[in-house]
């Protein structure tokens, strides 16, 4: 297992659609384990394979801050098969540096995918787990949470990031602006 580098916006790989995993191989299992290690080292509550430059439909999540690993979820080819309701959650992302925003998502989701043994896994989720599942599945489709906020807020963030990259200086902490 290895901790991998997490790609940062505006890396173009983050905008690509990940391909379905045809067969779970030893390499797939190693990738899943690397993703788990990388997520915990970041630290984060979720990670999608495209965030480490792998265009495979794989996500890992662990929203239990108290007992890391106890509720670890590893999904291959996850699909949201049902969603309902609405909630707004303050989101951040390991690939979107120094920025959070309130994002509107489904309040409850049902997700189906495969585990590392190619067995079907069905998860019914709400609150943070529902948000995290939707957020990570968005990554598989080349979408970031900043695509779900107002164009004005997204443009302000993008300009600030580009200025920071040009100057070589780290970005100042993002001011909190309510949507």
Q: Active-site residue numbers?
A: 136
Please give the radius of gyration of the chain, using alpha carbons only, rounded to the nearest integer.
16
Neighbours of 41 (CB within 10 A): 12
Per residue, the 3-state secondary structure of the chain, as one string, reads: CCCCCCCCCCCHHHHCCCECCCCCCHHHHHHHHHHHHHHHHCCCCEEEHHHHCCCECEEEECCCCCCCCCCCEEEEEEEEEEEECCEEEEEEECCEEEEEEEEEECCEEEEEEECCCCCEEEEEEEHHHHHHHHHHHHHHCCCCHHHHCCHHHHHHHHHHHHHHHHHCCCCCCCCCCCC
């Amino acid at each position: 297992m290895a901790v991998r580098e997490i790609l940062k916006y505006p890396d173009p790989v983050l905008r690509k659609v990940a391909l379905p995993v045809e067969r779970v191989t030893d390499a797939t299992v190693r990738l899943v384990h690397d993703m788990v290690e990388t997520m915990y080292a970041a630290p984060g509550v979720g990670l999608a394979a495209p965030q480490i430059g792998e265009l495979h439909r794989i996500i890992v999540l662990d929203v239990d801050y108290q007992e890391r690993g106890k509720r670890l979820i590893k999904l291959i080819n996850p699909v949201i098969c049902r969603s309902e309701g609405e909630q707004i959650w303050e989101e951040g992302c390991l690939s979107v540096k120094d920025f959070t925003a309130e994002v509107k998502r489904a309040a409850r989701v049902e997700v189906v995918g495969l585990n590392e043994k190619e067995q079907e896994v069905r998860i019914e989720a709400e609150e943070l787990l529902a948000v995290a599942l939707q957020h990570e599945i968005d990554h598989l489709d080349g979408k970031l949470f900043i695509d779900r906020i107002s164009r004005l807020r997204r443009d302000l963030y993008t300009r600030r990031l580009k200025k920071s990259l040009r100057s070589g200086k780290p970005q100042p902490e993002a001011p909190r602006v309510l949507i």
